[in-house]
């Protein structure tokens, strides 16, 4: 399935590096999301973009910076991360951001911070 | 209290068995409910929405109990391919929009 793609699939970075995660959706959706999934924890919603405007930011540290240049692309810029930021980062999209909308997830980027 | 709580399991059941999972939520104003399935090291995928009247999709039945604030998933005639983690998702209205709350997941292993 290629509805939502993410690159890279795996990333290893040092704490002083700067990197970016990319997400692209081919479903014509208007809302995109970044989630963090750590071991034995529920999915954490990091950012929501609806019609290219950030709708919610759940107090995510500033070392994570999202960018949504258009409704099909979403980036997560990473800067001076900590080892505890190692996790699976999932992108999702939905038609709208309203109640009842189904989200479709990308395969995720598995991030390791050394 | 967590927004969404699930029994993490693991549930180990023989092929052909019927198994049920529950998921409780704390916000009585929650609006939408879903079950997702996540295979090991893969992304979550939508299994089914949960409607107030209950809904069925083949061997899977989902139910919502608003009075007791829980949703359930029933799997009949379990197959080996049903082995996965099942996540419940609850959508509630927040100050700035809709909040998506995920349970930690219930692990199911179907044994031959």
Torsion of CA A103, A107, A109, A110, to 10 degrees: 110
**CB-based contact (8 Å) between B22 and chain A?**
no
Asked if A104 and A94 touch (Cβ cutoff 8 Å), the reply is yes
Which among A1, A87, A83, A2 has a CA at the least distance from the CA of A36? A87
Average the pLDDT over B66-87 and give the result.
95
With tokens 């349970």, the residue in question is B103
Best residue in A3, A5, A9, A42 to probe B by mutation, most B CBs within 10 Å? A42
Predicted confidence pLDDT, tens digits, chain A (114 residues)? 569 999 999 999 988 889 999 999 999 998 999 999 998 788 888 888 887 777 777 678 999 999 999 989 999 999 999 999 999 999 999 887 766 678 899 999 999 999
pLDDT by residue (tens digit) across B11-61? 999 999 999 999 999 988 888 899 999 998 888 888 988 888 888 999 999
Contact list in A for residue B97 (CB cut-off 8 A) is 48, 50, 55-56, 97
Instruction: From residue A77, give the alpha-carbon distance in Å to each of A27, A65, A70.
Output: 23, 5, 16
Contact B87 A43 (CB under 8 A): yes
Q: Are strands B32-38 and B44-49 parallel, antiparallel or unpaired?
A: antiparallel
B93, A34 Cβ separation under 8 angstroms: no
How many Å apart are CA A18 and CA B87, to the nearest integer? 32
- Cα–Cα separations (whole angstroms), residue A99 to A102, A103, A106, B77, B97: 9, 11, 21, 32, 9
- Are the C-beta atoms of residues A37 and A108 closer than 8 Å to each other? yes
**What are the residues whose beta carbons fall under 8 Å from the beta carbon of A70, sequence distance 6 or more?**
A52
């Amino acid at each position: 399935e290629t509805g939502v793609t993410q690159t890279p699939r795996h990333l290893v970075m040092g704490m002083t590096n700067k990197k970016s995660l990319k997400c692209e959706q081919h479903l014509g959706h208007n809302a995109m999301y970044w989630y963090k999934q750590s071991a034995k924890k529920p999915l954490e919603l990091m950012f929501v973009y609806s019609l290219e405007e950030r709708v919610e930011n759940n107090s995510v540290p500033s070392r994570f910076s999202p960018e949504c240049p258009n409704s099909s692309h979403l980036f997560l810029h990473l800067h001076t991360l900590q080892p505890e930021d190692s996790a699976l980062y999932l992108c999702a999209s939905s038609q709208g951001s309203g109640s009842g909308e189904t989200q479709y997830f990308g395969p995720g980027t598995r991030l390791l911070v050394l | 209290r967590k927004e969404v709580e699930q029994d993490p399991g693991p549930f180990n059941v023989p092929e052909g068995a019927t198994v049920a999972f529950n998921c409780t939520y704390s916000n009585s104003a929650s609006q939408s409910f879903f079950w997702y399935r996540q295979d090991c090291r893969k992304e979550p995928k939508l299994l089914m929405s949960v409607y107030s009247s209950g809904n069925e999709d083949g061997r899977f039945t989902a139910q919502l109990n608003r009075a007791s604030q829980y949703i359930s998933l029933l799997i009949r005639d379990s197959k080996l391919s049903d082995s996965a983690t099942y996540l419940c998702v609850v959508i509630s209205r927040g100050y700035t929009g809709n909040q998506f709350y995920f349970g930690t997941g219930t692990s199911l292993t179907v044994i031959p």
